[in-house]
Structure 1
């Protein structure tokens, strides 16, 4: 049975996807090398899906690995088991282009940020797993950015009460800002807590910036107001890494959400945590 794709809206509907076009010659060159061909096709599908308004698939490690190189060798030997001249020639053409392919695949997140303003990778499997965890309970996402996570949850469960807020400070960053993909109310994190914390049982905080201590202010507020007596805070980010403040990570009590796998496709190790 074909999987039904979750849509978050119209997407950007760009007529030219530079990243996709970069991958086309690699798709042709490595079509016989299954692991590399699959990574290339997945990367192409991701940008197509987001451009058309669909949540993208989950991703494996996108950088070229030693296992990929071993598979490349095996493919060459299988095609030319007794013809060393032709085998070596094909091998050289494949291996020479591998660093360029590795660089393009490793730049996927940068492209998603610059073109779609998607910082944390929001895939359909992630949203479906998170939806099961939330179990139709009312939710507030703070620092929601462009709203990809909320948009996915709203598409998954249209009757569920899902609020999203953001102060839009990220628009000052040196990227081209695009419109939010769902309704996101312009409020700071603390303003959101004052207004909505008593209406929800879960607060989501994904990819909080590492350039401020707003996340620590949130945690202090929730503790001060005994919010954890009836609610839960779920954080998605890289511990002591690309997201959130050092103060937050040092003071937060973390329990990893083991029921949701968040395999990282690049060097950023994103995970889900219950925080209190």
Structure 2
């Protein structure tokens, strides 16, 4: 990823330059356009309408293009910098679309929901009947500062679960950090109290999110209905899981 701070305005200016250069190369221009729509949507505090395509370009394509487009490798690197740009500028780690939100709303079916580790509340801002909590200890990480999209109750995730588990039907754990064990502590607590509700986890199994202990111990099922329009677009293979 780029080491310098990826300011959204500079990122978009460079994107426009690439769009002009690759206007007659649909396989590249379509990716650039999708990235542009994502960044501009977040600038307006809106969720992108459609899921991102897979941004990585195949080795065969890169090899075929490099003579005519010597900067194609730079363009691919630029595309893969999207997540870091969004993290640094908007405090958003998990990128999803309005299409996926419709799937999630249908799945939740207006059930009372708690979201822990809600960050800036982007997901919670799109869902009715949800309580969003976060301890905001991520502020300053990756140059980000809290800029909530909706009301966030400042509360540690485990404390939030203990406060709300009796009155909610669903708990959403979205992109839990891989450096702490609180996800496993939550899982164990819910088992201890024999909670009858549904725990949904959004993250990359054995990868960028959640603790190794959680992935080892949790009985997981991939929720098919919530992964149709939730597909990886970069090197992070995050999915939506139900914890049994």
Q: Larger C-alpha radius of gyration, 1 or 2?
A: 1
- Of Structure 1 and Structure 2, which has the larger fraction of its residues in helix? 1
Question: TM-score, normalized by length of structure 2?
Answer: 0.91
How has the CA–CA distance of structure 1 residues 235 and 21 changed in structure 2, closer, same or farther, with 3 Å as cutoff? same
Gaps of 5+ in 2: 1-6
Q: C-alpha offsets along residues 28-82 of structure 1, whole Å, 9 cap, x if unaligned?
A: 1111111111001111111111101210131111122246558x76xxxxxxxxx
Structure 2 residue 23 is the aligned partner of structure 1 residue 48: no
For 2:106, the equivalent position in structure 1 comes to 132
For residues 241 and 213 of structure 2, what CA distance do their matches in structure 1 show? 16
Gaps of 5+ in 1: 1-14, 74-90, 154-159
Does structure 2 retain, via aligned residues, the 8 Å contact 1:122–1:148?
no
For 2:13, the equivalent position in structure 1 comes to 21
For 1:60, the equivalent position in structure 2 comes to 53
Q: C-alpha offsets along residues 219-268 of structure 1, whole Å, 9 cap, x if unaligned?
A: 011001110x2x10000000000000001000100010011222101010
Q: C-alpha offsets along residues 184-218 of structure 1, whole Å, 9 cap, x if unaligned?
A: 10011121122211111000001000010010110
Which residue among 214, 225, 244 is the counterpart of 2:193? 225
For 1:168, the equivalent position in structure 2 comes to 136
Does structure 2 retain, via aligned residues, the 8 Å contact 1:234–1:272?
yes
Which residue among 91, 102, 113 is the counterpart of 2:87? 113
Cα deviation, residue 182, structure 1: 1.0
RMSD: 1.8
For 1:234, the equivalent position in structure 2 comes to 200
Does structure 1 retain, via aligned residues, the 8 Å contact 2:8–2:39?
no
Cα deviation, residue 270, structure 1: 0.5
Cα deviation, residue 180, structure 1: 1.3
For residues 117 and 99 of structure 1, what CA distance do their matches in structure 2 show? 27
**What is the count of residue pairs matched by the alignment?**
235
For residues 68 and 46 of structure 1, what CA distance do their matches in structure 2 show? 24
Q: Secondary structure at 1:129's aligned position in 2?
A: helix
Q: C-alpha offsets along residues 108-153 of structure 1, whole Å, 9 cap, x if unaligned?
A: 0011101111101122122111111101111100111111111122
Q: Secondary structure at 2:224's aligned position in 1?
A: coil
For 2:163, the equivalent position in structure 1 comes to 195
